[in-house]
Structure formats: structure tokens, C-alpha cells
Amino acid sequence: MRSKTQSAQARHRSVTAIKAAALELFAHKGYHHTSISDIAREAGISKGLMYNYFNSKEELLTSIVNDAMNSGEDILQVLEDPSLDPRLVLTQLARQSVAMVKSNLHYWKLITSLAFQTEAMKSLEVLLKNQRERNIKLAVSLFERMGSQTPLEDAYLFGATMDGIFVYYMVLEDDFPVDDIANHFINQFFTSKQQHS
């Protein structure tokens, strides 16, 4: 008879395998064209066991996206500390985000591919909107503390440029000097802000 610890470990292994299989299939076949049976087969479990862990494909997708958002939570919490220099916070945010993507590039490629699947994202609209609004609000407060006259625009520009850097890195991988480009962008961004302040 298995102990509670062994059962919990087995459950964790199964859930991890299911999520990994689902993410691969969603990315390569598309969310719409991936069935629960496909995911169970890829994960090496029965369809019935699959339903012990997730009631639906939508619930599984939500769990995958929540994992991705939670992986950046430690980075975002730094943004909420009002005692830190906002330039330092944004610099750390950019560098830690680059490190996070570099540490698991394949995973982030798959997550990013989901963002372009309209049907998949529709069921997550509220969750993603809330996260986006929180991120922008935090970034705006940092730019306000820096004395920006256009904090909302600066927040969007900073985020969109970092996203672009990540996409280039995902496509070009080692042919793209992601650390150097991120550092160059940060330096250029703050130099430009100082010249216009």
C-alpha cells in the first residue's frame, strides 16, 4: 500500500506529464485540434485517469497558463517594493526575465505559441486581462516615481520592447545576443528618459 507521500508524488508526476504533453500538443497541433485522448496518449496514461486530474481541456489550459504566470511572480513582487530605486527595479526585472526565458527556452516558446491561438486565449480572457492590468499598473507606478510625464506609454513601450527581444531570441536562439540586447535597450531607454526629463 502506498503512503500519502508516495501518492502525492505519483499525482505530481502524472500532472506534470499531462501538462507537458498538453503544452507540446497545443503548440504543435493547435489547441482546437488537440483532444483529451491525444493528451492522455502523449502523457502515457489512460483517458479515464486524465479526468481524475482535469475535468476538461479548458481547465488544463488554465492550469498551464497559471503555472507560466506564477513562474514570474517572484520577479513581479520586486516591483511592489516602494523603497527600491525604480530604475534598478526595471533593470532587474528585465535581466531576471531574460534569465527566466533562457533557463527554459523550449517551454517559453510553447507558451508564446499559445498566445497566438485565438480560441485557446478566449477562455482565459479575464485571467489574462487581470494579469496584464496588474503588470501595467505596477510599471506605471515605477515610471511615475521616476518623474515620467508619460508613465502609461513608457510602461507599454518598455513591456512591448522586452517582448520583442524575447521573440527574436526564441526565433534566433544562440545567434541572438539576448543579454547584450536587453542591456543595450535598458541603457538606451534610461538615457533617453534623462534627456527628455
Angle at 46 between CA 44 and CA 47, to 5 degrees: 120
Could you read off the pLDDT of 74-123 as tens digits, one per residue?
777 766 778 889 999 899 889 999 999 999 898 898 888 888 888 888 87
Contact criterion met (CB below 8 Å) for 91 and 47: no
* Structure-block grid coordinates of residue 187: 541603457
Task: With H, G, I as helix, E, B as strand and everything else as coil, classify residue 34.
Answer: coil
Smallest CA-to-CA distance from 117 within 15, 1, 30, 22 is with 30
Could you read off the pLDDT of 35-79 as tens digits, one per residue?
999 999 999 999 999 999 999 999 999 999 888 888 877 777 766
pTM of the model: 0.80
Tell me which DSSP letter residue 33 carries.
T
